[in-house]
Amino acid sequence: MKGQYNLLLVLIIALGLSACDRESANVVTLNVYPDSIINDVSIHPIGINVNYFMDGGRFPNSEQPVIKSLQDMKVKYLRYPGGEKSDLYMFAPSPYEKSQPTVSRTIGLEDYPGMFSEEGELLFDPLDFDEFMQICDSVGAEPIIVVAADRYLMPAEKGKRPAKRAELIKHAAEWVRYANIKKKYRVQYWMIGNESWNKNNINSTADIYAQDVIDFSKAMKAVDPSILVIPNGDNEEFFKTVITKAGNYIDRLCVSNYGVFSFDNGYQSYSDSVKCLIWPAQTALNAMNKYATKEQLSHWKMIVAEYGTIDWFNKWKGNNDMGHAIVAFDMTGQLLMQPQIEFSCFWNTRWIENESNLRDHDALDKDGNLTPTGTALKIWGNFLGKQMVKSESCDSILTYSSIDRERNSLFVYIVNKRGNVSRVKLNLSNQKNGSLSQAWEYFGKTPEDLNPVWQKKEDTDKYIDLKGYSITVLEYRLNLN
């Protein structure tokens, strides 16, 4: 309970939650403080996980290519080849001379129905590593690579090939060589396995994983000492072991942030209360600050390798609707307020069930069109300044703000969590001459609305009228010189 209280306190401070300041019974005044900087976001720290199963030739006749969709969202970090499937992926078979995806094992392929033949051959044209790097170049995004590193301790199964630790380490080093020595891609971020703490990593422990990190790091940095090696973790004890044992061999830490918890009544549990949606990231940050040395903390950052609205407790049905878009938008905002988080990657472009079962974690549909949660990502991507600044929220109305002093622009993001129409007035502290240059809104009829509307907002003047279940974005021109 104490930990939950502390996280809630952090959220209240970050969001500027306060008693409602009302101009009248029907108008809420929200304060924005352009001079009160909370976090530098000039690197545009918003990314997404791509899926090498789905983003290559899986949908050759899609209405919009994945490159265009990623450009629309303006994501600047792309994680490849994805999540748990990274731990069976090899960018090429030995002798690692050509980008040609294969698998490190045939055990566990049943986790991805419809993707592999019984012999372990991919049934659809995958997104290979060179193609992924071409996407990064076209989008202007930083590549994040996950190397297969765990599940080599899985029990042998008759007729199936297990992974071997030495081969995984060799593959990781050769991937660095291919990427940065042969192809000159200069890939900086290299993650050691995906969620290696997960129960899927049978027979492993935090100590075993920490030693794996050391051995992978040594082999990979022997090829290119400039790369950043990044282990993962989830709880304090796991991070403690990795940090204290492997801390001298790593450069960052990463965590998965699935912050939907205790949504017993679905979206209503969110709309009726203040929710810290980044408690997994906060747990990771607390462990890093507690167990890392001063020298390590001077250059370490936390990376959120995955985040999204998936409810692993199965209380909130995972439809891709307006309610999930609002929570995804809020979760992104909470992550952007954290100075020790370097960047965060949404999960994901589209999962393997995308064609028949579109879910909240799909940013794109099978035709490459943005879904509601993908649109939430697009809003942040297209309307983000260089620094997050302080703003106030009130009850069911959430407010974030960012500023770009070079452009004299202030962005204000307002979320109306509930269905009632609300009128607000913005007070831009110390900015008497601010003028509204553009306004947009994204809204649904209900939280379950599968087809929300994104449109330019024309009727904003002294007061801002917020539709129910909506995200409103305002850009002001300020005189900052």
pLDDT reported for residue 25 = 63
Domain boundary residue among 384, 401, 436? 384
Domain boundary residue among 339, 355, 384? 384
Is 417 contained in some domain?
yes
Alpha helices in 177-260 (DSSP H): 206-223, 236-246
Is 343 contained in some domain?
yes
What pLDDT band is residue 452 in, cutting at 50, 70 and 90? Answer: very high
pLDDT reported for residue 7 = 52
Mean pLDDT of 112-117: 95
Q: Does the pLDDT at position 479 exceed 90?
A: no
203: left (phi over 0), alpha (psi -120 to 50) or beta: left
% of the chain exceeding 90 in pLDDT: 88
Same domain, 325 and 212: yes
Domain membership of residue 409 as a residue range: 27-38+390-478
Same domain, 435 and 309: no
Q: Does the pLDDT at position 4 exceed 70?
A: no
- Residues 414 and 424: beta-carbon distance below 8 Å: yes
pTM over 0.75: yes
pLDDT reported for residue 26 = 79
- Mean residue pLDDT of the chain comes to 93
Q: What is the CA radius of gyration of the chain?
A: 23
Q: pLDDT, tens digit, for every residue of 262-307?
A: 999 999 999 999 999 999 999 999 999 999 999 999 999 999 999 9
Same domain, 378 and 235: yes
Same domain, 432 and 318: no
What are the DSSP calls for 363-407, one per residue? SB-TTS-B-HHHHHHHHHHHS--SEEEEE-BBTTEEEEEEEETTT
pLDDT reported for residue 34 = 94
Mean pLDDT of 300-317: 96
Q: pLDDT, tens digit, for every residue of 126-180?
A: 999 999 999 999 999 999 999 999 999 999 999 999 999 999 999 999 999 999 9
Report d(CA 350, CA 225) in Å as an integer. 34
CA distances from 105 to 108, 115, 118, 162 (A): 8, 14, 12, 5
Q: Does the pLDDT at position 3 exceed 60?
A: no
Q: Does the pLDDT at position 121 exceed 60?
A: yes
State yes or no: cis peptide before 65, omega within 30 of 0.
no
Q: How far is CA 50 from the centre of its chain?
A: 11
Mean pLDDT of 249-264: 97
% of the chain exceeding 70 in pLDDT: 93
Q: pLDDT, tens digit, for every residue of 365-407?
A: 999 999 999 999 999 999 999 999 999 998 899 999 999 999 9
Same domain, 140 and 167: yes
For residues 61 and 297, the model is more confident at: 297
Torsion over CA: 8, 14, 434, 379 (sign): negative
Domain boundary residue among 384, 414, 443? 384
Q: pLDDT, tens digit, for every residue of 76-96?
A: 999 999 999 999 999 999 999
pLDDT reported for residue 13 = 46
Same domain, 166 and 190: yes
Q: Does the pLDDT at position 415 exceed 50?
A: yes
pLDDT reported for residue 392 = 93
Q: What angle do CA 25, 27, 32 make, to 5 degrees?
A: 135
Q: Does the pLDDT at position 16 exceed 60?
A: no
pLDDT reported for residue 2 = 38
Report d(CA 180, CA 470) in Å as an integer. 45
Report d(CA 9, CA 335) in Å as an integer. 15
pLDDT reported for residue 433 = 61
Is 3 contained in some domain?
no
